[in-house]
Amino acid sequence: METSKSTLLQNENKVKNWIVAISVIIPVAVAVLLFMPAKVDVGSDWVYFLPHLNAVINSAATIALILGLVFIKNKNIAFHKASMSVAFGLGAIFLVSYVVYHGTAESTSFGGEGFVRIVYYVLLITHIIFAAIALFPILFAYYYGYTDQREKHKKLVKFAYPIWLYVTITGVIVYLMISPYYLH
């Protein structure tokens, strides 16, 4: 593992360029998938299970993030790294599942009315905005933590952590609010 860390540090500018590229490409790709006129036909309804899976993944990521905070507050760096790596891995799995779902299934409209509709859209819009910008600081924070650049890591997680936690929590809340309106 030390070799991969030192290799990353030697290639830090390349790594940073990749992080920036990924942080731009993924939100753009997701936006294209959400708004493309025709969805990809996979010939099956299995994709309609993915929002439920995504809620479970987001819930587990939320737990991992909270545990990561508890572990670092208790100066348990090994468990902190492990729980943050779990959250990071869950985020990657979520992203793949999310892209597959939105590339293949029509979007579901929220059917709630009145005040709950306002709450839903405020949560949804803030969730989308923060999710779109979250990848950049999360990737850098993870990189700095992985390469043991603790001061840079600490400065960045002050912003990255609350954004990431907000996105995972609101993702579950938005799912719970819209799930009664899913057609499948």
pLDDT per residue rounded down to tens, the chain (184 residues): 565 666 766 788 899 999 999 999 999 988 888 777 777 887 778 888 999 999 999 999 999 999 999 999 999 999 999 999 999 999 999 999 998 888 888 888 899 999 999 999 999 999 999 999 999 999 999 999 999 999 999 999 999 999 999 999 999 999 999 998 876 5
**16: CATH:** 1.20.120
Find the domain containing 15 and state its range: 2-181
- ∠ at Cα 133 (174, 156), nearest 5°? 115
Nearest to 108 by CA among 29, 170, 183: 183
Instruction: Mention every residue, 6+ apart, whose C-beta is less than 8 A from residue 176.
Output: 55
For 177, other C-beta atoms within 10 Å of its C-beta total 19
Q: How many domains does the chain have?
A: 1
| Rg (the chain; Cα; Å) | 18
The pTM (predicted TM-score) of the whole model is: 0.87
Burial of 66 (0-12, 13-18, 19+ CB in 10 A): middle
